[in-house]
Every structure is written in structure tokens, then in C-alpha cells.
Structure 1
Amino acid sequence: MKIEIIKMEKYHWENVKDIYFQGISTNIATFQRSVPTFQEWDSSHIKECRLVASFGEKVLGWTALSKVSSRCVYNGVAEVSIYIGEEFRGKGVGKALLNALIKESEENGFWTLQSGIIRENVNSIELHKMCGFRELGIREKVARMSNGVWHDVVLMERRSAVTGIN
């Protein structure tokens, strides 16, 4: 299967939304309880760094960045979101997407990418490590799922070797 990584456009939203819902349903991908509207999602994600992995017209997964702070000193720091359709997990889609996002982020002046990953989501943690992220620490029982279960979050970070302080 030849995966193509392309810029996410508004017309991808229905597929992106479905994949996001699949992630929510795992109870280990996000603390989000429902898929936001496109307007909510659009306003909370950086417009320059939104990508989808596709095979023909089929969206296999998506990734995007969010600001971590409104303070100007953090303009080069962003948080990663990455979701892969359930039938495409473990097939290299995540690695292709995350590596493309890293390249795109550096081209747009981001020097630090961070992720907060639910501890039980070992596949996402390993994916991030494969793509150059390191574990910074763990926030213990930081948030609770709708089913009442508290989860730890693994904090991960990747510093750019081509932009920012090298």
C-alpha cells in the first residue's frame, strides 16, 4: 500500500472525525469524550501543520499541532495530536504521519513538539520514541475518563535539530 501524506483540508473533516471517534472509543487515546465540531477543532489547531495519510481517496489517519500557550515566548512549542484509523494501525501509517509532521513543524519554525500520552497507550508511546521523542516524566492520575477510571499521562518531547537552539 502506497501511503500519501498530504495537507489536511476541510473536505477531509468527515473522515478525520470518524478516525477521531475511533480513538475516543479506545479509552486510551484521549480524555476527549466526544468529537468536537469542525469549527471547534479548527480554532484549536495550528493551520500550517495539519496532515492526513491517504490511500487514494481513503483517509488512513491524521495529525495536527495545537499551541501550548498564548504567550509569544512559546510560539515555537506545540502539542501533537495523531490518530490512525483502526484498520490501519501497526502498518507504518503513524510513523509516516509523525515524521512528516516533524518536518512540517520545523519548516514552520517549531523547535519543540510535545505529547501527553495516556500511559496504557503503549503503541503511541513507542511510535513517538521511534520518531525521536523522549519521555520527560509521568503525571500521575491527572485525568479521569467518563467511566470513572483515572489515568497517568506520559509526557514526551522532541527538540528540533534544525530550528531553535541546537
Structure 2
Amino acid sequence: MNCTIEKMKKEHWESVAKIYKEGILTNKATFQNSIPSWTEWDNSHIKECRLVAILDNEILGWTALSKVSSRCVYSGVAEVSIYISEKYRGQGIGEKLLNQLIIESEKHDFWTLQSGIIEENVASINLHKKCGFRILGTREKVAKMSNGIWHNVILMERRSTTVGLE
């Protein structure tokens, strides 16, 4: 699909939140069960590494990074969030977004990107593999959905080939 990847702006939030809600409703994209406010979301995600896929002024998907720790030794490690609108899934948008996020993350000195993906979310696991992530292991029954069902989480990471090598 011939979409463009752009920096996420506050004015994109309504569309971003709608796509996030679609992910929540799948019961396999996140353990989150409600959409945070813009302020909450904004404060918990790295401002330099937020992207949206756009076609004809419509947001098709988004991706962002969040810090994994406040400790300085983990300053180059971040967690990936990526969500694609349900009507645009399977069209290569996730791959475009995630590959661009990798580029942006390296510009901002991130050497490791990680993801914790609900085991049933095979499409996301495959997307991450396609973009150079590897499976580290499985956290068994690590979190319970609001419906009471426990889920395993697949831990994945991608180590930069250009940042943090010394």
C-alpha cells in the first residue's frame, strides 16, 4: 500500500485512540482494557519515536516507543507498541511502520527494541520476526485479561546493528 509514514502529532490522537480501541477489542493485542487520555499516553511514550501511517488524510496505523526503565544503563532500550486499523491489516503497513520506527530509534541512540506479544497474536509475532526481532522466550500466564483469562506473552527483541556496538 502506498501510504506515507509521518511523525505522530497531537491532532492524530483521535484516530490513534480509535485504532488502539480496535486492538483492545481483539483481546490479543494488549492487556490494556481502556484508552488512556492523550496526556497519559503522551507522558508514557518517547516523543521522538512516534509514527503514523497515512493515506488520503486517514490514519491507517501507528507505532511508538516507551522506556523500559528509568535507570541510565537501560537508556537505549525501549518497548514497541504497534497497531494497525482492522480494515488495513495484512497490507504491509505494519512492516513499513516498524521498519521506519527502527530507523528513528537508532537516530535517537536506542540499541535494543523489545516487545511483549500475547501468544495468540501470531500476526504481530510474524511481523516482528520479519523486521529482525527474535524470540527470547515465553512468560507463562503473566497477565490476566479483564475476562479472567490468563495469557502467555512472547518476549521478542531486536538488537541494533549500528547503535551501542562499542
Matches within 5 A, 1:141-160: 141-160=141-160
Matches within 5 A, 1:28-47: 28-47=28-47
What is aligned with 2:8?
8
* CA deviations over 1:14-59 (Å, ceiling 9, x no partner): 0000000000000000000100000000000000000000102000
Give the TM-score taking structure 2 as reference length: 0.99
Structure 2 counterpart SS, 1:164: coil
The residue type equivalent to 1:140 in the other structure is E
* CA deviations over 1:100-136 (Å, ceiling 9, x no partner): 0000000110000000000000000000000000000
By how many angstroms is 1:2 displaced? 1.4
**Structure 1: 4+ residue segments shifted above 3 A:** none
* CA deviations over 1:73-116 (Å, ceiling 9, x no partner): 11100000000000000000000000000000001100000000
What is aligned with 2:134?
134
| In 2, Cα distance between equivalents of 1:106 and 1:164 | 9
* CA deviations over 1:126-165 (Å, ceiling 9, x no partner): 0000000000000000000011100000000000001102
Structure 1 counterpart SS, 2:139: strand
What is aligned with 2:82?
82
What's the C-alpha RMSD, in Å, of the aligned pairs?
0.7
Structure 1 counterpart SS, 2:30: coil
| In 1, Cα distance between equivalents of 2:140 and 2:165 | 30
What is aligned with 1:26?
26
Matches within 5 A, 1:60-139: 60-139=60-139
5+ residue gaps in structure 1?
none
Give the TM-score taking structure 1 as reference length: 0.99
Structure 2 counterpart SS, 1:138: strand
The residue type equivalent to 2:107 in the other structure is E
5+ residue gaps in structure 2?
none
| In 1, Cα distance between equivalents of 2:165 and 2:157 | 15
Structure 1 counterpart SS, 2:114: strand
Equivalent pairs, count: 166
| In 1, Cα distance between equivalents of 2:35 and 2:140 | 25
| In 2, Cα distance between equivalents of 1:19 and 1:117 | 17
The residue type equivalent to 2:54 in the other structure is S
| In 2, Cα distance between equivalents of 1:105 and 1:43 | 18
